[in-house]
Chain A
Amino acid sequence: MVTLEELQARITRLDDIKQIEKLQRIYGYYLDYSEYQKVVDLFSENVESVEIADYGVYKGKKGVKRFYLELLGGKPPRVGELSIGMIMQGVVDVDPNGKTAKGRWYCMMIEAKPTLSLHEGELRQLWGNGVYENEYVKENGKWLFKKVFFFLNFRTPYEDGWLKVPVVGQNGPSAEVPPDAPPTFYHPYPAGVHLQPHYKHPITGK
């Protein structure tokens, strides 16, 4: 017969997964609305880094603030700018200690943005796709981001599609708010280089 403590540990693990899923989705909704201070507040004070596509690596909480508040939030959003990220299909694994966790997610993006490769004035409508491999940490009973890593697969003009134009424009590295390190894994379609998952095969354990 299972003990109360064992049952509690199992329930806590299930609850942790639910909380992490919620954190990740709330992060997405804040990003949709360019609410960068709220995004920053979802990160632990001891955060490792944030790295999105080709922007490069921003380290520590200071780096997180520089990335979201200064770089992404540095200019007021233009009329018509659209940045919808649909974060789906989470695979969340809580470490045995119950204090840290990892999660892999798909993101489909619906955007309207100016792209650096074009003249500044024009907004373009874009489809985007990529994969998150994130890390989480539980502090004072609440789950926070410990690391955010986003692998960009494609970001293509609506009119063209990923086969014709895999990536339109370039994001980084920024000269005004430079990253702490260059991108570690920027290989969009059709490089054929895939971001491996954090988890082992659930059956074979490999």
Chain B
Amino acid sequence: MNLEELEKQVTLMEDIQEIENLQRIYAYYFDLQRWQDIVDLFSDHAESVEIVDHGVFKGKEGVKKMYWDWIGQGGKSFREPWIQFVILQIGGVIDVSPDGKTASGRWQTWLCEAKPFGAYPRQEWLHGYYENKYVKENGKWLFSKLHWNNTFCSPFEDGWIKTPLMGLMNFHPTIKPDAPPTAFHPYPSGYHLPYHYKHPITEK
């Protein structure tokens, strides 16, 4: 093995580490409700963001609409101290493309939230899977696509079997997605979010 090949291997490992950090940092910003900082984790050429049943928001403009305008209420939201988004990022499977410029990652999340839902404050457990895409620009990894698919969103008092879904979040009076949700099928539908990767041994 020559120096060039070694460097390639080291770069690949650094890439995976940086993508894992990016994904985790995203979740900490979400937890901290730093919506502009989340928008800045996306490439200017971002493909789309899709969260639960909100629908598909395309391009960097769409990313801003999703996080800043909708979730962050355009920066106008007063952060009530009791509101909580704890989003655990678990089980990253990262695959960097052979050219080292793009990557895909699957993760799962376990969330422990407290937020206003409809008429009153709720505490809830959530679970879901991500299938995300990343792009390296000027030596830094950014999100090019984020898709979070929700398995359940259940009140703490009930659990997933009694109340798989607290309610829909797919309406905003002024903000509209570019396309409807592509894969919103919560428990107990039995829906499987496809993997970006092939089986590591059989390669099927």
Residues of A within 8 A of B (CB): 4, 7-8, 11, 14-15, 18, 22-23, 25-26, 28-29, 33, 38, 41-42, 77, 79-80, 82, 84, 86-88, 108, 110, 112, 123-125, 142, 144, 158-159
Contacts and interface: CB of A to CB of B under 8 A. Distances in A.
A123 B16 CA distance: 39
B199 interface: yes
Contact of B159 (A8, A84, A88, A159): A159
Closest 9 CB pairs of A and B: A125-B161, A80-B188, A158-B159, A25-B91, A125-B159, A86-B90, A33-B192, A112-B161, A41-B202
B1 A142 contact: no
Contacts of B91: 25, 28-29, 86-88
A67 B40 CA distance: 47
Nearest to A42: B201
B3 A41 contact: no
B117 interface: no
Contacts of B199: 38, 41
A125 B2 CA distance: 55
Range of interface residues on B (Cβ < 8 Å): 20 to 34
Interface of B: 1-3, 6, 9-10, 13, 16, 88, 90-94, 106, 108, 110, 127, 129, 151, 159-162, 187-188, 190, 192, 195, 197, 199-202
A23 B200 contact: yes
A80 B13 CA distance: 39
A84 B90 CA distance: 12
A86 B10 CA distance: 29
Contacts of B151: 82, 84
Contacts of B93: 22, 25-26, 29
- Which of A28, A38, A82, A124 is the most central at the interface, judged by chain B CB atoms within 10 Å of its CB? A82
Given A4-B6, A77-B190, A14 B13 contact: yes
A141 to B, nearest CB: 11
B195 A29 contact: yes
Contacts of A108: 110
Contacts of A11: 6, 9-10, 13
A38 B199 CA distance: 7
B90 A88 contact: yes
Contacts of B92: 25
Contacts of B127: 84, 110
A151 to B, nearest CB: 19
6 contacts: A22-B94, A42-B201, A82-B187, A86-B110, A110-B127, A158-B161
A125 B162 contact: yes
Given A86-B88, A86-B90, 6 more contacts: A29-B93, A38-B202, A79-B188, A80-B187, A112-B161, A158-B161
Contacts of A28: 91
Nearest to B128: A84
Contact of A4 (B1, B110, B159, B192): B1
A153 to B, nearest CB: 17
A46 B129 CA distance: 33
